[in-house]
Structure formats: C-alpha cells, structure tokens
Amino acid sequence: MRLGLAIESMEESVVITDRDGTIQYVNPAFTKISGYDRGEVVGRNPRAWNSGRQGDGFYREMWAQLAQGRIWQGTLTNRRKDGTLHDEEVTISPVRGDDGETINYVAIERDITERKQAEDLQQALYAIGELTERAESMQEFYREIHGIVQRLMGTGNMYIALYDPASDTMSFPFWEDEHDPPSGPRRLSGGVTDYVIKTGQPFLDSRDELTRHSTLPDLVPFGTQSVEWLGVPLKRREQTIGVLAVQSYSGKLRFGEKGKELLNFVSRHISTALERRTSREALNRLSQAMEQMDESVVITDRDGVIQYVNPRFTAVTGYAADEVRGRTPSLWKSGRHDAEFYRSLWQHLLAGTTWQGYFLNRKKDGTVFEEEATISAVQNADGEIFNFVAITRDVTEKRRLQSIAEAANTMNNIGYVFSGIRHEIGNALNSMKMATSIVQKNLSGWQPEALRKFVDMAMNEVARMEDLLRSLKNFSMYEAPKIQPVDVADFLKKLVMLATGDFKSKGIKINHRCDPDAASAWADPRALHQVMLNLLSNAADALEGRDAKQIDITARRDGALVRIALRDNGCGMSAEQLANLFKPFYTSKSTGTGLGLVITKNIIAKMNGTIEVDSRIGRGTEVVISIPATAPQDAGAAEPAGA
C-alpha cells in the first residue's frame, strides 16, 4: 500500500507494461506531463506517443538490452497529446517472476525538456555562428539553417522568404516542403507570410485538423493548407527583411507558444548570421571585381597606411602587395608635386569629397609614369572617415599622344593668332596710311575742317590698335592668378550691383540666386570679375532688339565644384557659331576683336576651371563656369591612397 502511494505521488512519470509492452498502469505525473488520461493509454503501446525522432534501430537496441534482463537508461523525445514534443530521461527496468522470467517493465521518466532545449539551443546558436565562415555558398548556408531548425522544431517543412521593399515583392531562396513545390517571387498580398512582414511580429496559425481554417481573418491561401504554421520575422536594424517559416501538416506535431518563442529567439541569431553572410558575399563579389579590374585599386586607412592593392597595381608599378602593405603611398612618390598639391588634395578628402586629378608617380624600377586618379573617402554611419579608396589608371601613353596632338593644335592656333594680329594691324595701318597720305598731299590747299576728317579717321584706327593691344595684355594678365577662397554669394551680389545701373538703362533685368551650399570657391576674384563682365557684355549684345530682356545668374554646388551659370533670352547662336566660339579673332559682331571668349576661357583654365556654352537660335544662351569648391582646411599626416 505504501509503495502504491509513493508511486502515485512521485514527480516522475511511472509507466508499467506487461512483457509485450502493453501499458497496465501510469501515475498522475505521467498524465500531467503527457496530457493523456489513464483511460486513453492503458491497454495501448507506448509507441502511441513516439515522436519519430528515434529510428527503428534505436528501439531494436533498447529492446535487445531489455530482453537480456538488463536495465536500459537513455533519453527519449516523445509527443504530448497536444502534439508538442518533450524530452525525457528514462530508466526502464525488467521485473522478473518467481521463475526468473520477465513479467513486467517499469519505466521511470523525468521531464528534461527545458534542460534539453537549453542544450540544443546553445548548440544551435553555436552552429549558426559558425555558418558565416563555414558555408561556401548561400544555398549551403540555408541548408545548414534548415538542419538546425529541423532538430529544434521537429519538422522538415521550412522556407525562408526575403522581402524587397523597393519592388514590394517576396522571393524564396530556400524551400523544403513535403507537399508543395518552391514558390516563385510574388508581390505582397494577404498570406500569413505577408502578415509577418507587414507587422514585423511572429505569428502562430493553429488550425483545425479537418477544416484547416486559419485563425487569421481575410487570409489569402497559398499552397496546401497546413494544420499549424509558424512564421517569425528576420530583421536587420529593426527593419523586417524576411520571414523564417515552419509548418506541420499533421496534428501529431504542434509547435505551441513555446515553439513560437523558441523560433523567434533563434531567428534573431539567424538574421545576424544572414546579414553577415550577405555582407560577406557582397564583399567577395566586390573583391573578385577589384581583383579583375583594369584599373589599379589602393585602399588605405584614415592615416594613409595601405591595407590592400589589387593585381593591376602590381602590374603597373612593379610593387608586390607584400611590399606596400603597411606602408604609405609616399613609397612611389616622384617628387614632381609640391606641398601645396598634397595640402589641397587632403582638404578635399578629409571634407568627405571625392578628389579627381593626375599624379606623376615612380615605378619600382624608377620609371616615372602618369596616373589619372579618383580618390574617395569611406565613411561609417556617423560620417566618420575610416578608409580611402583610390582607383587609378596609367595614362602615360594616352597623355603622350594628347601632348603631340595639343602641340600640333597649338602651332595651328599660333599661326591663326599671328594671322589675326597681322590682319587686324594691317587693316588699321592701311587705313592710317591712306588718311595721312591724303592729309600730307592737301596740307596747303584744304581747310582745317576737311583735314580734321581724315585725322579723325587715323585716330580711330589708332584706337582700334589700342583695343587690340589691350586685349592681348588681358590675355597674359592672369598667367599666374592669385587663387584664394571667394565668397560666391557676396561676389555675385557685388557684381550685380555694379552692373544693374548700366544694364537697366538698356532695358535689361538681371536676376541672381546663390544656393547656400555654393558658399565658397577657389578663384582669383579679380580674374573671376573680368570673366563675368565679359560674359555679361556678350549677353547684353545678344539681347539687342529683343523684348523682355533678361539675364539670370545662378550658383550651385555640384560635388567638388561650384557651377556659376549665366543665361540670357537673347538671339542665341547657330551650331557653326558655337563650333568657332573660342577661336581667336572669330566674331559674329560688327565690332570687337574676337578675343573676349578666348581670354575668358584662358582665365578660367588658369583657375582650374572649365567653361561650357549651350545655345539655340531664338532661344538664348547659357554659359556655365565650373570652378573648384573650397573645403574645410585640415591637412593629414600622410599622403592618401594614390598620392
């Protein structure tokens, strides 16, 4: 009697079977743990709650040991009445009769589900952490995740959905299901997967096994309807990027709320591993691209210490990666650039702007070569610079050929200039010679008024020659401009104030606007003033005879440049006029030397800028000057990548 009371009050499950395994007795603890009443299990075999986790071989071994009269000890994963799984530590002992034959088996079972889950979870998290490094491809990564989830949840039915917010579509990079084939990409709608993506919350959809009606209202069904579906969000920085889903098609396997909590916890680690793996894949692709690029790539830290060079760099410079890693680009400096060159370069880079230009560097064998370079700062989420990336191309041969072409073009231009000067001075001299000759012959016979007419003609030609000499002086006046920071807004304000009175008398309205981000640029203010006056003068000439005459001046920042645009609504120019616009002594005006725009372009070039002209007959003209923008003064301790 006392033994019976003790068994009834035990915390461990006690199951007694006959020698064939038919259940004869279970205690209350068994009912509490498994959910089965005595009447539901007495007369049945324990296979009724077998989870399927242990194969036939496992049970054959167990029964072979028991048949020999030996006690068996081990762990089993069984299924509760509600379909959820639980782990038990089991001891099964044979009970012998007077004749020594086994007449009963007594199983004492301790529920170790929480302990086992903690162990399995720890192993799973460790395995997930390893996946980032171990998996050779994303498909292998997904297959490994599938195996981990299968061991934890007891089902092989699993898929991963990834969400692209730009297209509002889901794709399914991994799919394993006993009923349905893989789903193709689709737009978000009203399915359970869509629900998790929209809410960002885990969702357990437990359905009736017969009708399989969803607990989610207005569900749009996809594929074979499961008995239980569990989906948890995959997140990156609190943004839902996808869903990890498992499902069961049989009431024998239920996940329950504990399963939802478990899978949701695991999904956070999977999300982290997925983000790392995706980043690693992207880096691998980027690395492969850089390894095969036809341009040299150099990556340094913030102090200019080299961390990476690609094979093209080695092919161009002769330096192997091991010879430059850990050093600065000063290793291949040619000495052809002064300190001001590097100071300006660093100003751009430490301000976070991209620098573009040319280097004269020295190869390992001492050969000097020219590189076209683009150097960019790499910033973190807080805007802090932690790397510089230089992409350079050897343009030595290209520049040599360009120099030959430029030399030939220069000779042509010099001939064109001398021809123009000869023509302009020759015409003036001929007119002066004719006028003075007439005056000389008629000094004694003509009245002063008649002589004055020819003297005035000669003086006009003198003035014409003075204009020419003045233009030639302006051409060389800014050979060495004094570059300094120029407040663009203040500069334009003063320029417009100076020109407004004169232009207003001609019926011309001047509008100007300077964007706040175009605050300052590198220029010679006197030279820039000369340029703008030349352009305003040209615009005024183009507006002659037009209605509602207007000139608009704007300034804006465009990357490392400040672009100043001057647009008029004048007569415009033909394609032929545009093609000849910057030729010396070419002009479509009745007066002028044809040197104004040539001088303008020369001045802008000396300030490291460019000029572009766009015009259409009857639609006006727009001239855009681009000059370097200033950056905060901050010099680094070492040369950046490519320097």
Judge residue 31's burial from the number of C-beta atoms within 10 Å of its C-beta, 0-12 exposed, 13-18 middle, 19 or more buried: middle
Task: Map residue 618 onto helix, strand or coil.
Answer: coil
> What is the model's pLDDT at position 421?
61
Question: Among 283-292, 411-420, 536-545, 612-621, where is mean pLDDT lowest?
Answer: 411-420
Mean pLDDT of all residues in 115-138? 73
Question: Among 143-147, 328-332, 548-552, 628-632, where is mean pLDDT lowest?
Answer: 628-632
> What is the model's pLDDT at position 2?
62
Give CA–CA dist 506/500, Å, rounded.
10
Which strand (E) or helix (H) includes residue 557? strand 550-558
> What is the model's pLDDT at position 231?
93
Domains and CATH numbers, the chain: 2-111 (3.30.450.20), 117-288 (3.30.450.40), 293-394 (3.30.450.20), 479-632 (3.30.565.10)
Percentage of residues of the chain with pLDDT beyond 70: 85
- pLDDT-derived band at 640 (thresholds 50, 70, 90) equals very low
Q: Report residue 38 as tokens.
A: 């005595």
Task: Map residue 45 onto helix, strand or coil.
Answer: coil
DSSP result, 115-171: HHHHHHHHHHHHHHHHHHHH-SSHHHHHHHHHHHHHHHHS---EEEEEEETTTTEEE
Contacts of 498 (CB under 8 A, 6+ apart): none
DSSP tag of 185: P
pLDDT at residue 426 is higher than 70 = no
pTM for this entry: 0.43
Q: Report residue 54 as tokens.
A: 């242990």
DSSP result, 256-325: HHHHHHHHHHHHHHHHHHHHHHHHHHHHHHHHHHHHH-SSEEEEEETT--EEEE-HHHHHHH---HHHHT
355 near 375, Cβ under 8 Å?
A: yes
> What is the model's pLDDT at position 604?
85
